[in-house]
Amino acid sequence: MEGWESFVRESHRRTGTGARLLAAFELSASGKGCTLISLMTGNPANIRYYEKLGYARDDSRLGDPEAEPVYRYYAEKKHAVFLFKTLT
Ligand SMILES: CC(C)(COP(=O)(O)OP(=O)(O)OC[C@H]1O[C@@H](n2cnc3c(N)ncnc32)[C@H](O)[C@@H]1OP(=O)(O)O)[C@@H](O)C(=O)NCCC(=O)NCCS
């Protein structure tokens, strides 16, 4: 299962919309048997958002040769941050 970019209209930001969107995605993924969400953001400003929602940084993936090509692309740009969350 793959999610590609979460986006909240500027006028609605910081009202909990992003948190609800991500919670709905996690619930759907969990219902399909997914136990781990791994993501990458090219925008370090979003780290606080993901950490607030229970994601932890996973810097080990920056040098992972098995990583998806898109991950490697951002990793080479040096501003990629990888995060993960275990679903229970
Ligand atoms: C990232 C994004 C989806 C967050 O959506 P949102 O609806 O504003 O998020 P929420 O209101 O649910 O925020 C939840 C928590 O995340 C943190 N957070 C969210 N935006 C933040 C910011 N710009 N700076 C610091 N912390 C932030 C806060 O702790 C916030 O809780 P609080 O408001 O009680 O302090 C939104 O900013 C966005 O659409 N950005 C542009 C697209 C983008 O960068 N998407 C992510 C791609 S990886």
Residue nearest to atom 7 of ligand 1 (CA): 18
**Tally of domains within the chain:** 1
Q: Using pLDDT thresholds of 50, 70 and 90, give the confidence band for residue 49.
A: very high
Pocket flag, ligand 1, residue 46 (CB < 6 Å): yes
Higher per-residue confidence, 20 vs 75: 20
Residue 22, in any domain of the structure: yes
Q: Could you list the residue range(s) of the whole structural domain that residue 74 is in?
A: 10-86
- CATH number for 63: 3.40.630.30
pLDDT digits (tens, 9 = 90+) for 25-37: 999 999 999 999 9
Pocket flag, ligand 1, residue 19 (CB < 6 Å): yes
Q: What is the pLDDT of residue 79?
A: 72
Q: Is 48 exposed, middle or buried (0-12, 13-18, 19+ CB in 10 A)?
A: exposed
Q: Which atom of ligand 1 is nearest to the CA of 7?
A: 39
Residue 2, in any domain of the structure: no
Residue 1, in any domain of the structure: no
Q: Is the pLDDT of residue 77 over 90?
A: no
Residue 4, in any domain of the structure: no
Q: Are 86 and 56 in contact (CB under 8 A)?
A: no
List all residues 6 or more positions away from 4 whose beta carbon is below 8 Å from its beta carbon.
none
Residue 66, in any domain of the structure: yes
